[in-house]
Structure 1
Amino acid sequence: MPRALTRTGALLAAVVLLFTSWSVTTDRRAEALEPFTGYLMAHFTGEHANGEQIYLAHSRDGLRWTDLNNGAPVLLSTVGTRGVRDPALVRSPAGDRYWIIATDLRIASGTSWSDAANNGSKSLVVWESSDLVNWSSPRLLNVAGGISGAGNAWAPEAIYDPSSGDYVVYWATNATLNGVKKHRIYYVRTRDFRSVGSPVLYIDRGQGQGIIDTQIVEAPGSAGGYRYYRASADGQITIEASNSVLGTWTRIGDLSHMGISNGATGGNVVEGPMWMQFNGRAEWALWLDQYATGRGYMPVTSTNLGSTRNFATRTDYQLGGTRKRHGSILNLTAAEESRVLAKWGTSAPVTRIQAYTHQDRYVRHADFDVRIDPNVSPAQDAQFHVMPGLAGSGTVSFQSVNYPGYYLRHYGFDFVLAPDDGTATFKSDATFRQVAGLASASWSSFQSYNYPDRYIRHYDYKLRLDPITDATGRADATFRLTS
């Protein structure tokens, strides 16, 4: 091929690649400028078996919420303590990158609050995405390791700082300073949520008053007189204001006059303040987690953040089926909302797998082992989504409802519930052909994709993958998919 032609072709390819890259980036950045049409809430649900993971809810009006993914978690932490609380959703100014950062903590594992506060994780858990629906594997980000005597890193938040072109990540750490051990707010700077600067003290209420939860919202047009407003759980729910993220903050007031506090003056004792601006109008909701009574979030709203006397309680809200604990809310563009609902908004059927021989028993996972049991509790341990087979067309795979991304698979011909590791072996081990039931044609049997002479069957109530050679085996290998 002539060298000149080769150079021309290479130049043309480079131009096409550059234009394509520019177009995709521009599309993402344009999304950030589009009007908002909906809302996405990230939260956890409590200290039960799978409650300390990432859950999502969607709203069209900012007050009435629908659980996504059928009320099951959408992301599971597999790092650190293998549990997360207090998730914060972060969008880049260009709208081309998103992060979820969360507390690395799982009380359900048996950790005491004292151990968690004094000998807990110094890292946050981070997920990253370019489209809000396809997320990276979780990773740990050590933010508090540089704080002398740090006991933990709790309740993280992040906000973009236009004055420096990076993000301010802030959280609470329990440490001794000037002879007093308590929770204070620290911050670090980051551009990529992979590397951070040294931690700096951000908020210290003085004397013995600790502070754990704080969240900042930017008010367009400096509504109420300031650009930024900060709500903190520091005995009260204290509202402060500033014109810069790391500048001087002015105390606006608190919510004690509404009978709401963080414990200092009793009343409705709340935590986890979570800001949200209503789409298309200068009105804000401050959601408060009613942890003391276990009722989950409630909103108070205001059209003027310049005084706490402008806040009013609301009763016209609905939180969906799950209990919503300390989280954050992201306003969604139409494109973002469409992607989120396409991924998690469809109500995929929930299926149970009933045993033919013991019709009061259903396939369930317990500590990631798989067996058949009656009266399964929690019920979601025996619920699955029947998915197109991971390894081939015309086949099925069984994805756990309460452990999304985890599938029934055989391993050494025993069955376990395991996360899809992306390998061809996993996909084959988790794939089956649904055929007429070996003991009754009106039921079903499930033939192994990679060992076609073997079928799913129960033996001594445990699930196995076996060759079927007699009537007992045929009956044990027969199941019914039911709601």
Structure 2
Amino acid sequence: MARLLGRMAAIFVTACLLLTSQTLTAPERAAAADPGYLMVHFTGEGSTNQQMYLSHSTDGLHWNDLNGGGMVLRSTVGTKGVRDPAFVRSPGSKYWIIATDLCIGCGQGWGDSQTNGSRNLVVWESTDLVTWSQPRLLNVADAIPGSGDAWAPEAIWDPASNDYVLYWATNAPLNGVTKHRIYYAHTTDFRTITTPQVYIDRPGTQGIIDTQIIEVPSGVGNYRYVRASGDGQITLEGSNSILGTWTTLGDLSGVGLSGSQVEGPMWMKFNGSDKWALFLDQYATGGGYMPVLTTDPSNPAAYQKQASTSYNMGGTKKRHGWIMNLTAAEESRVLARWPNTTANRLESYNFQDRYVRHTNFDVRIDQNVSTSQDSQFRMRTGLAGTGTVSFESVNFPGYFLRHSAFDFQLVYNDGTAGFAADASFRQVAGLADATWSSFQSYNYPDRYIRHYAYELKLEPISTATGRGDATFRVTG
């Protein structure tokens, strides 16, 4: 009997372990009404891929690219490229995106960028998660002697200091060794910071390029905070205060993942459960992000790799980013702002080899634009409201065709009613051909978009030439 009971107990334990494994492995499908998750990331090298992209998921494991897979924010400052973004949500109603000011392959390679690269971060600010400020630079590394760069910024609210602890990697000499270390400073507004201090310094010549901290709820593990760092391994550490003593917990080599294979650790907590995904960027193979799941972030043995069939990262490659758990209101705003609207061109009716395009933020019709994103626009629901359309640039998202003094420019949306009116148009039957389209000004309804001497203007139309100039075909 004892032997039978022992065998039954063993079977029961095995079944429980199997069920636990299945719970961790199976996709976490959220209820339809539950809010989901928003990932900010970049997609690769080059000036276009090193910009800000957004993806959305309802379950945390299956991701859909927003904005048709196109960029949602473009840096026009510093190196004019951005990588390694992080969301920051204030306790109130403010959001920031902070990112590395780095554009590899845009005139500078990896070696130069580490020794003589940007010492700034790029910062965007918002009050609603969809209308963002123009990007600005925040210098964080000039105060570090011999600093060569500033990479992979993160920030976390610290209740002990009642402000944000901003941390990032900088390559600099210290104690005779030049390498990447993690530095930190305090800030309340991501405009000014305190003097940077060393935060994480690995022994010897071992550098560390990125780290991300999460706060763990009471009752899970032994630490209030857990951080994952790329430092030759994916090292896990625990602490009960952000700037306190951190204890090394182990790494993910036990599940076959080392720092020579993956980097850019990115945490996500599943809604409604004490369950986490740690996404890791497979930079060595160019595979983008993959998740490992756990019910205890502080226990390296609790992490489980996932079968490739259990997750889908969407159509674009996801590189080092950050995931935000959305509220229902945030999700509604985000999905309304960046639907997967097709990118289109506007073909001239009377010069059918020419298309509307922007150049140096001026707007005209030009030839030979088939390979240029300068001639691609997304026709959004008009900024002035239903019944109108607005033209948002594909390669300068947030910039719209706007008339000023009846001339057209590509201008960043400042969120004002005046901008919305100037950038909104009624799409009507083409004045020269009803199967084409003409675009009537919202705030000057006696005027239409037309070209004159190949420049885009807003003018009254009274002649056959004018009707031809004011007629366009929306093409793919």
Q: TM tier, shorter chain?
A: 0.7 to 0.9
374, 377, 381: which is aligned to 1:383? 377
Check 1:222–1:111 CA distance in 2 against 1; reply closer, same or farther (3 A cut).
farther
- Work out whether residues 369 and 375 of structure 2, in 8 Å CA contact, stay in contact via their aligned partners in 1: no
Check 1:192–1:472 CA distance in 2 against 1; reply closer, same or farther (3 A cut).
closer
Q: Distance in 2 between matches of 1:133 and 1:415?
A: 25
Q: Cα distance, 1:300 vs. partner? A: 0.8
313, 322, 327: which is aligned to 2:316? 322
Check 1:61–1:439 CA distance in 2 against 1; reply closer, same or farther (3 A cut).
same
Check 1:188–1:411 CA distance in 2 against 1; reply closer, same or farther (3 A cut).
same
The normalised TM-score by structure 1 is 0.80
281, 294, 298: which is aligned to 2:286? 294
Q: Cα distance, 1:184 vs. partner? A: 0.6
Q: Cα distance, 1:450 vs. partner? A: 6.6
* 1:77 and 2:75 aligned: yes
> Comparing 156-165 with 136-145, which one deviates more in the overlay?
136-145
Question: What is the 5 A alignment of 1:175-324?
Answer: 175-221=172-218, 223-263=220-260, 269-314=261-306, 315=308, 316-324=310-318
Check 1:431–1:236 CA distance in 2 against 1; reply closer, same or farther (3 A cut).
same
Check 1:207–1:363 CA distance in 2 against 1; reply closer, same or farther (3 A cut).
same
Question: What is the 5 A alignment of 1:464-483?
Answer: 464-465=456-457, 475=468, 477-483=470-476
* 1:400 and 2:400 aligned: no
Q: Distance in 1 between matches of 2:295 and 2:317?
A: 27
Amino acid of the structure 1 residue aligned with 2:410? L
Q: Distance in 1 between matches of 2:135 and 2:179?
A: 29
Q: Distance in 1 between matches of 2:422 and 2:270?
A: 47
Check 1:340–1:358 CA distance in 2 against 1; reply closer, same or farther (3 A cut).
same
Q: Distance in 2 between matches of 1:386 and 1:134?
A: 15
- Work out whether residues 355 and 375 of structure 2, in 8 Å CA contact, stay in contact via their aligned partners in 1: no
- Work out whether residues 36 and 280 of structure 1, in 8 Å CA contact, stay in contact via their aligned partners in 2: no
Check 1:109–1:408 CA distance in 2 against 1; reply closer, same or farther (3 A cut).
farther
* 1:363 and 2:356 aligned: yes
Number of aligned residue pairs: 439
- Work out whether residues 222 and 228 of structure 1, in 8 Å CA contact, stay in contact via their aligned partners in 2: no
Q: Cα distance, 1:238 vs. partner? A: 1.2
Match of 1:22 in 2: none
- Work out whether residues 47 and 80 of structure 2, in 8 Å CA contact, stay in contact via their aligned partners in 1: no
Check 1:479–1:40 CA distance in 2 against 1; reply closer, same or farther (3 A cut).
same
Q: Distance in 1 between matches of 2:98 and 2:383?
A: 32
Q: CA RMSD in A?
A: 3.3
Check 1:276–1:481 CA distance in 2 against 1; reply closer, same or farther (3 A cut).
same
Aligned with 2:450: secondary structure? Answer: strand
- Work out whether residues 385 and 401 of structure 1, in 8 Å CA contact, stay in contact via their aligned partners in 2: no
Amino acid of the structure 2 residue aligned with 1:105? L
Amino acid of the structure 1 residue aligned with 2:301? R
Q: Distance in 1 between matches of 2:449 and 2:61?
A: 49
The normalised TM-score by structure 2 is 0.81
- Work out whether residues 400 and 412 of structure 2, in 8 Å CA contact, stay in contact via their aligned partners in 1: yes
Amino acid of the structure 1 residue aligned with 2:44? G
Match of 1:173 in 2: 170
Q: Cα distance, 1:372 vs. partner? A: 4.0
> Comparing 121-130 with 148-157, which one deviates more in the overlay?
121-130
Match of 1:13 in 2: none
Q: Cα distance, 1:424 vs. partner? A: 9.0
> Comparing 269-278 with 80-89, which one deviates more in the overlay?
80-89
> Comparing 415-424 with 124-133, which one deviates more in the overlay?
415-424
Amino acid of the structure 1 residue aligned with 2:47? A
Q: Distance in 1 between matches of 2:194 and 2:224?
A: 25
- Work out whether residues 174 and 182 of structure 1, in 8 Å CA contact, stay in contact via their aligned partners in 2: yes
Check 1:52–1:411 CA distance in 2 against 1; reply closer, same or farther (3 A cut).
farther
Q: Distance in 1 between matches of 2:114 and 2:319?
A: 19
Where does structure 1 lack aligned partners over 5 or more consecutive residues?
A: 1-34, 264-268
Q: Cα distance, 1:176 vs. partner? A: 0.9
Q: Cα distance, 1:417 vs. partner? A: 3.4
Amino acid of the structure 2 residue aligned with 1:318? N
- Work out whether residues 382 and 425 of structure 2, in 8 Å CA contact, stay in contact via their aligned partners in 1: no
Match of 2:59 in 1: 61
